[in-house]
Structures are given as structure tokens and as C-alpha cells.
Amino acid sequence: MRRPFRSRTPPDAPLPAPGGLPAEPNRFVGRDAELSEVVRLLGESRLVTVVGVGGVGKTRLALRAADQVQKRYCDGAWLAELAALRDPELLDHALAEALGLTDHSGRPPRRVLAEHLATRRALLVLDGFEQLIDACGALVAELLRRAPGLRILAVGRRPLRVAGETTFTLAPMAERDAVTLFTDRATAGDQGFRAEGERLTAVRELCDRLDRIPLALELAAGRLHALSVEQVLDRLGDRFRVLTEGRRDAPARHRTLRTAIGWSHELCTPEERLLWARLSVFAGPFDLDAAEYVCGGPELPADDVFDVLAELISQSLVIREETPAGTRYRLLETVRAYGAEWLDALAETDRLRGLHRDWYLGLAAWYELDWFGPRQAEVAAGADSALPNLRAALELCLENPEDAHLGRHLAGTLWFYWVGCGRLTEGRLWLGRALALDSPSDGARLKALWVLGYVAVLQGDSAAAVGALHECREEAARSGNGPARAYAVHRLGCLALLSDEMDRAERLLRSALDAYRELGELNSNVLMGQVELALALVFQGDLDAAVELCAEVREICEDSGERWTRAYALYVLAYAAWTREEHARARTLITESVAIHHGFRDRVGLVLSVELLALVTASEGDPAEAAVLQGAATRLWRSVGPPLFGSAYFGAPRVRCERYATELLGAEEYRAYEEEGRGLSADATARRALAHRPPAPAVPRRPPSGGRGRARGARKPADSPTTRGGESAG
């Protein structure tokens, strides 16, 4: 006779509280928002699956959530740990064991489980199911169908893909929570540990470099008995060797960081492992096209990359993100480092790095072409997203002198990003490195030279600019490279403009523009040359000619969709409108200029526009707001270079505004408002500039000594300050 199914608990024993959740081994830290969301989802869905990369804290969060809601379930909350299982046939037995069930009746375990749960209201936590995902999915579907009072909280690298499933992806910890967790665990081993001062800075860096993954942080904290925080940081080049100790009572798959990630690796298919290794060549976010080009090959056709990538995403090994540049993918650094080791083992690292470099060389060239057109904002966003990978490509180019020409080509091709998107300092770094390598003169070297000169001009480094631009012009003349010579002459004209040499600037800029026309060259650089010529004319008093030039630029920009150069043309048109006392028109023009420059993060254009807007604001009768904008511009100049480029002409709006606002407010009040402006960030400055509405005029609308530009050929704008030597510019 078969023995009937019964509980393990003897009938005369005191009944324990329903449930089988383990006690927490230590303090639960952070995750307040995530915890609340999982609890909410459990109230709405009968199956919630928490997914995430290995070591991110999925199990701990799930158990905490189960503990918070277990009172809702009169038959308890139970944990079934499945990670050690490999045989699908043992799955039903493991669940029965977790529920404290024994049955010697010979009935199938699935039937026992279903009958036991059919009339019960319970929560079942399934942890570590991914290696048995098909079997587990089928079991979950059947149990949910046959037990209406059952809710399941599953924990794994990928969703179960069962009807009615709600997925919650657990990301790495926020920085504040990560620091708190690390400090808490470090203090447990050393009561004297304090995260303060320089040590706090080191702890923050350590948390970031470990991707703020709780397992990695706990393992790192466990090393502090032998190493300082700084020493752990120094050794993170081989994080899998450093982080080798964990709790002895932790699951085997969590005892080392290598094992935690390796656990995920073992569960991947050969194609998934191969793609994981190849994706490790990416230094930051990448798109599908890049992955297909770089990672495709005979063993993994490019057409199959997406399907395999999707599986890695479902396993939380690859993160999918929506960015301003579109959909992007990335690996957490810990996952990437593990993949890189496998790529080395496959002896594919050099080949993949070469493919990666080639892709980003092509992408930069494509972006340069697209910069002159309606996709400028998309190009800027794309370059921002690709920057870590562009850096990696540049590094590879410059590692080998034989590839130096590729490094110069890439650094020069990215001129639009260095100049147009606020990356002057980094651009100069890469250009300098590329040009420092010995190699014969070629088109790539010439381009890098004039781009370096351009960057140096905008940074106010006249000596470096002159050296690079003269070298470029001379080598271009010897080699017959017309475009390079035109660009060098153009940038020499720009340097003359910022150096208050208006006659020379006009001559050089006209020469460059003539050369561009002969060459059939038309792009953002060419249009910028026309704007710079217009500035030279404005500063010499020829407003009509300047307005005509910029009106033409504006029309071309509208036809082509170009916005970056358009913003500079608007600056000139606004300057001319203010000079003609057309203040409302000047405000409309310069406000649009501010918006465009801020969108591209072009600090040079932004600070010039803000200063002109301050003058317009003062002219409209709001000296207090004008003083605030002046102070904000002062702060912006710190991130640009020498204030006003050291130019009396470019400094004229500031001098006029300060003089007028001070007369109306008094020196002390003006300084107070200006100090307020110095506290504004670039974002806050742009918001304030774009939101301001001029008040009704309560003071004279025309600043002292304002008015129309001087006669053509004048050496100094009206009311411009004296030069640095104390002598007039005339």
C-alpha cells in the first residue's frame, strides 16, 4: 500500500511560521526604488522575473522583496535554489524539497506539486534557473495554470518567456548606494574603516571601476584585510585575480568574481561565447552595424549576429540602451574584461582590434561628410556615443609607427567634433600625438596640421597655431595640395582676426575663399570662412557687406540643413542689428545662436553669444539681467581660453555692456549681479538666456557712445577698450 503524501513536520510538533526564506546574512543596503518596484509588480503580476548580470544582486533583492510581501500569503513564501541542478528531471524534485514536501506514493512529482499548490496562496522564489530554462519555463507555466493562488518570483540572467511574465531588469547600484555598501562591508571586517576625505574619493573610483556590481564590491571589501583601497585600485588591471575571496557559505558560483561571470559564460552556447569574446573589443557603446562588421565572420555570419546578440541581451550580459544617437549596446566592464581574456585565448585580439579600428575610421569619415547637412545634431550625438571607441581606434593607430598616417587621418577627420562639439583640448592631444610620430608628409599629415592650427587658434595659443599653419601652407605648396593650402591660409586669417589685425585677416580670408571657389569646395569650413570675413568687415564698420555675406551663409545653411555655422552667422547678423539699434531683431537672432551653440556644446560660440546677448539686454533696459549674463560669460571663458581671445574687437560688447549697466546700477550693485552670474553653469546660463523676456524699457535704450559702425577702414570699434599695452588699437 502506498504511503500517502505528507509534510515533513511531525503532527505533534509546534507549527512554524509558513515559509522557507533564509535569514539575511548581513545588512541590506540601498535599492529602495528597485525594491519598491518589484513589490509593486508582485501585486500586479503572478510571474515576475528579476534579470541582470551575474553578481548584480538579483537574489538578494528578490529575497528582500519576498520577505516584505510574505504576509500577503497565508501559505508562506518559499525559496527554491536551482543553480546546482543540471538534470531537468530533478527540477520537480528540487521544488518539492524546497516546499518541504515528501511523497512516497509514486505519483509524478509534477502532480504532487500541482496538487499541493492548487488550493494554497503562496509565493515561490525560483533562483538560478537559466541552465534549465526550457524545463523551468514549462513547469512554471503549468503551476501557474493549476494553482490560481500561486505567485512566482523568478531570478536569473534571462526571462523565462512564459505567458503573463513581467520582467524587471536590475541594473548596477547607484553610486551613493555602492559607496554605502562597500563601506558597510569594509567596516564589518575593520571597525576602524572610514570612507572620508581622500579615501572616500578612492572608494568612489573603486565602485565605478567595478561597475557598482554588489558582488564585486563585497569581494573588494573582503580584500581590505590585506590591501588598502588604493592598492586594490592599482591591481584592478587583473580584477579576476585580485577579487578571489568570498564568503565560504556563499553559492559556489559567487565565491569569486571570475566564477560569477564564468558561471554565465558556461551557460552560453558556442556562438554566444564567441560573440561575447569579440564584443569585448568595443571600448564603449556600439550599434548593431558596428557589431555585425567587427564580429561577423565564417564562424558567426554577420546576418546571425543580431540573433546571438539578442540572446546575450536576454541573459543580461549585454546592456541595451536608448540614447540620443539611437539604440546602443554595451558590456559592463567586468563582463567585457572576462570576454577579452577569451578573445586572447582565441588568438583573435589583434585581428578584431584591426577590424574595430577600420570601422571607426570609416564612421568618422562618414560623420565628417554628414556634418555639412541636416544630420548635424545626429552626427554630434553619434560621435559622443562613439567617443570611447574612437579613442580606442586612435590608440591602436598610434601604437605602431607604420599606422601613424591612419592616426593623423582619424584625428584630422574629427575636426568637426573637436571644434564644433566642445572637444578642443582632447582634439589637440590626439593631433599632437599623431603629428609627433616621424613619417613622410602626406595629405593626412597636412590635414592634421591645419586642424591642429585651428584648435590652437581657438585656444588662444598663437605660437602653436602659427607654427602648425605655416608648416602646413609651405608643405602644401611644395606638394601641390591645393585644399590643404587653402585651409591653412583660412586659419591664418582666423588667427589674424582674433589678433585684431583686421586688414590682414580680410586679405587672408578673401584669398582662402577664392581658393575654395576654384577648388569647388563647399562645406562648414568654407561657410565659416565667409562668416569670419563678415566679422572682419563688421569690426571695420562695413555693416552692409557683412550682412550680405552672412545672409548668403544663412540661406545656404537653410538649404543644406547646416546649423553650426548658421549660429555664427546669426551672431554677426545680431551684432549688426544691435549696431543699427534694432534691438528686438538682435535679441531674436542672438537667442537662436545661443540655443544652437548650447546644443552642440560649442563653448566658444556660446560665450560670444551670451556676451552679445548681455549687451542687447542692457540696451533693452534690464541692466541687472545684463550683469548676470556678463558674470555667467566670465565663468564660461574659463573653459574656453584667454578671455575674449585678448581681442579688443571681440571684447567691445562686454566693455560697452559693463559701462552702461554700471552707470544705471552703480558699481556695487553691478558687481553683485555679476557675481550671481558667475555661479551659473553652462546649462543654467543657456536656460536663463533662452527664458529671459525683456521688460518694458524704463531706462534709455541706447548705451552711451553706441550707434552705427564706424567708417570702413577704421582700426578700432566705437568705445572699444584700449589694448593690453595701454595704447589704442588705432
230 and 152 inside one domain: no
Contact 218, 60 (CB under 8 A): no
Residue 230: the pLDDT is 85
Place 701 in a pLDDT band, splitting at 50, 70 and 90: very low
Question: Given 420, 439, 458, which residue is the final one in a domain?
Answer: 439
161 and 217 inside one domain: no
124 and 186 inside one domain: no
Contact 554, 566 (CB under 8 A): yes
pTM of the entire structure?
0.73
- Tell whether the model's pLDDT for residue 86 goes beyond 90: no
Contact partners, residue 2, CB within 8 Å, separation at least 6: 104, 105, 106
Residue span of the structural domain in which 608 resides: 578-691
Rounded to whole angstroms, how far apart are CA atoms 658 and 666?
A: 11
Strands 47-51 and 150-156: parallel
DSSP one-letter code for 697:
P
Question: Given 144, 169, 194, which residue is the final one in a domain?
Answer: 169
- Tell whether the model's pLDDT for residue 288 goes beyond 70: yes
Average pLDDT, the chain: 85
Rounded to whole angstroms, how far apart are CA atoms 209 and 217?
A: 10
Residue 661 lies in a domain: yes
Residue 448: the pLDDT is 96
Q: What is the pLDDT averaged over residues 11-16? A: 36
The three-state DSSP-derived secondary structure of 41-63 is HHHHCCEEEEECCCCCCHHHHHH
- Tell whether the model's pLDDT for residue 530 goes beyond 60: yes
Place 663 in a pLDDT band, splitting at 50, 70 and 90: very high
Rounded to whole angstroms, how far apart are CA atoms 60 and 694?
A: 56
33 and 144 inside one domain: yes
Q: How far is C-alpha 268 from the chain's CA centre?
A: 29
Place 13 in a pLDDT band, splitting at 50, 70 and 90: very low
597 and 665 inside one domain: yes
104 and 71 inside one domain: yes
50 and 146 inside one domain: yes
77 and 183 inside one domain: no
pLDDT tens, position by position, 318-366:
888 888 999 999 887 778 888 999 999 999 999 999 999 999 999 999 9
- C-alpha grid cell, residue 319: 546592456
Residue 305 lies in a domain: no
Rounded to whole angstroms, how far apart are CA atoms 388 and 410?
A: 14
23 and 114 inside one domain: yes
Burial environment of residue 672 by CB neighbours within 10 A (0 to 12, 13 to 18, 19 or more): middle
- Tell whether the model's pLDDT for residue 179 goes beyond 70: yes
pLDDT tens, position by position, 445-455:
999 999 999 99
Rounded to whole angstroms, how far apart are CA atoms 396 and 375?
A: 29
Residue 139 lies in a domain: yes
Q: How far is C-alpha 191 from the chain's CA centre?
A: 37
- Tell whether the model's pLDDT for residue 161 goes beyond 80: yes
Contact partners, residue 444, CB within 8 Å, separation at least 6: 405, 406, 408, 409, 412
- Give residue for cell 545588512: 27
Q: What is the pLDDT averaged over residues 575-596? A: 94
Rounded to whole angstroms, how far apart are CA atoms 44 and 566?
A: 52
Residue 55: the pLDDT is 82
132 and 204 inside one domain: no
Least confident of 78-82, 230-234, 543-547: 230-234
- Tell whether the model's pLDDT for residue 6 goes beyond 50: no
- Helices and strands (DSSP H and E) totals, the chain: 33, 9
Residue 590 lies in a domain: yes
Least Cα distance to 100 among 81, 74, 78 occurs for 78
Residue 298 lies in a domain: no
Q: Look up the CATH number of the domain holding residue 81.
A: 3.40.50.300
Contact partners, residue 77, CB within 8 Å, separation at least 6: 18, 19, 20, 21, 66, 67, 69, 70, 122, 123, 124, 125
pLDDT tens, position by position, 47-79:
999 998 878 889 889 999 999 999 999 888 999
Least confident of 60-64, 96-100, 253-257, 486-490: 253-257
- Tell whether the model's pLDDT for residue 111 goes beyond 60: yes
- Tell whether the model's pLDDT for residue 199 goes beyond 50: yes
Residue 377 lies in a domain: yes
- C-alpha grid cell, residue 294: 567587427
Question: Given 200, 235, 261, which residue is the final one in a domain?
Answer: 261
**φ, ψ for residue 156, nearest 5 deg:** -170, -175
- Of all residues in the chain, the percent with pLDDT exceeding 70 is 87
Residue 12: the pLDDT is 36
Least Cα distance to 577 among 606, 612, 549 occurs for 612
Residues 54, 57, 58, 63, CA torsion sign: positive
Q: Write down how long the chain is.
A: 730
35 and 161 inside one domain: yes
The three-state DSSP-derived secondary structure of 517-545 is HHHCCCCHHHHHHHHHHHHHHHHCCCHHH
pLDDT tens, position by position, 623-660:
999 999 999 999 888 777 677 677 888 888 999 999 99
H or E stretch at 340:
helix 333-345
Strands 326-330 and 319-323: antiparallel
Contact partners, residue 705, CB within 8 Å, separation at least 6: 656, 718, 719
- Tell whether the model's pLDDT for residue 388 goes beyond 50: yes
pLDDT tens, position by position, 372-383:
999 999 999 999
pLDDT tens, position by position, 436-472:
987 777 899 999 999 999 999 988 889 999 999 999 9
133 and 188 inside one domain: no
Residue 251: the pLDDT is 54
Residues 501, 503, 504, 508, CA torsion sign: positive
- Tell whether the model's pLDDT for residue 15 goes beyond 50: no
What is the number of domains present in the chain? 4
- Tell whether the model's pLDDT for residue 708 goes beyond 60: no
Rounded to whole angstroms, how far apart are CA atoms 217 and 385?
A: 27
- Tell whether the model's pLDDT for residue 128 goes beyond 80: yes
**φ, ψ for residue 149, nearest 5 deg:** -90, 5
Residue 300 lies in a domain: no
Residue 435 lies in a domain: yes
- C-alpha grid cell, residue 431: 593631433
Contact partners, residue 325, CB within 8 Å, separation at least 6: 287, 378, 381, 382, 384, 385, 386
Residue 97: the pLDDT is 80
Rounded to whole angstroms, how far apart are CA atoms 726 and 730?
A: 12
